Amino acid sequence: MTAAVLRAVATDGHARAGVVHTPRGTFETPCFMPVATRGTVRLLDTVDVEALGPPVLLANTYHLMLRPGADQIERLGGLHRFTGWAGHMLTDSGGFQVFSLSPDVDDDGVTFRSTYDGSRHRLTPESAVAVQERIGADIQMSLDICTGLPAPEEEVRLATKRTLAWAARARASHGRADQCLFGIVQGGVSPGLREEAAAETAALDFDGYGIGGLSVGEPREQMLPALAAATAALPADRPRYLMGVGDPVSLVESIALGVDMFDCVLPTRLARHGTALTSRGRYQVKAARLAGDDTPLDPACACSTCRRHSRAYLRHLFVVGEPTAGRLLSVHNLAWVLDLVGRARAAVASGTLTALRAEISANWGPAPLR
């Protein structure tokens, strides 16, 4: 296995600014990965995403294996050629999507029905690896069991035990030399179980480590101690990836605990429903009070949407149902989150992460931007 080695160039407490080295090249951390579920970020094309400059895109194995199929993507030259994206790509195992469908789970794997046509499918740790090898992303994730929270302790422990057993099987079956494989740490909100699971996963010597099963219903006050326990038990020279977390407060607090990589649909999902993320909080673009507002979505933002368009114009597009509205707001929201993570990297380098955490906490309280 070719390790995705992380070299820290600066630290601030447990936080680190680093560079990840993979067979494709390098990318800087902390980093946010926009979600390209079916091979594209919703409403955006590859040119839009290239202009935003994210170092990594995340695609969804569950959806791609069903439509158009891993064999088809492989025949068409792999995921990079198929999508036209030349940067790093990561594919999840499909576990989160599968387990949202209430599948049949046993020690060997999981059986589920397609959301497209109802057909039955089977995933095992080995077949999840094989599918992702054919798809051809730079980083693939091992198959895990994600348990919604709160959940009974025995359910969380069983899911954690199976995830560890499946991680070992995935590790043994992975053979593509130009592709990294990350293990996933489960364990609910128990710091003890998270620490134990992280140590056992780390002992398998993966290229990097995902931390899954958080931000799935539990309050942040429970999430962060569990996350801290996991990161403390993971090796310092491998990337740590907090899966599915993208709200601003959780981003900066997790970076402070030593997390390097993030993904979340939040920026683009909110954009499609007309919510803007800004330096002063979030607000609804369709609000009537913005009808005559000639200022940009966020005066502090330098994205292409804010440089060219006003709040009044964006509101008009949403009110008349113009699809361009979602695209322009998606560009802004992604640019804002990417900039936030970039600011966090700079804050780690300058030793000022505590100040950034205080700023984000103050601006992202319950009151929306006025």
DSSP state of 368: P
Which residues touch 186 (CB under 8 Å, ≥6 apart)?
Answer: 144, 145, 146, 147, 156, 159, 160, 163, 197, 212, 213
Beta bridge partners of 208: 182
293 included as an active-site residue: no
Residues 311, 291: Cα–Cα separation, whole Å? 8
**CA 44/CA 332 separation, integer angstroms:** 12
Note if the bond before 267 is cis, omega within 30 degrees. no
Tokens 């560890």, residue located: 164
The two structure tokens encoding residue 246: 């993208």
Give dist(CA 18, CA 16) in Å, integer. Answer: 6
Instruction: Give CA–CA dist 164/152, Å, rounded.
Output: 19
Residues 6 or more apart whose CB falls under 8 angstroms from that of 242 comprise 210, 211, 214, 227, 254, 259, 261, 262
From 12, 207, 247, 263, active-site residue: 263
Q: 92, 138, 207, 247: which is the annotated catalytic residue?
A: 92
Q: CA–CA separation, 49 vs 59, rounded Å? A: 14
The span from the CA of 293 to the CA of 313, in Å, is 9
One-letter amino acid for residue 37 of the chain:
T
Instruction: With beta carbons less than 8 A apart as the criterion, state whether 291 and 317 touch.
Output: no
The encoded tokens of residue 262 equal 């993030």
Q: Is 12 a catalytic residue?
A: no
**One-letter identity of residue 300:** A
Backbone angles phi, psi at 57, to 5 degrees: -110, 150
Enumerate the active-site residues: 92, 263
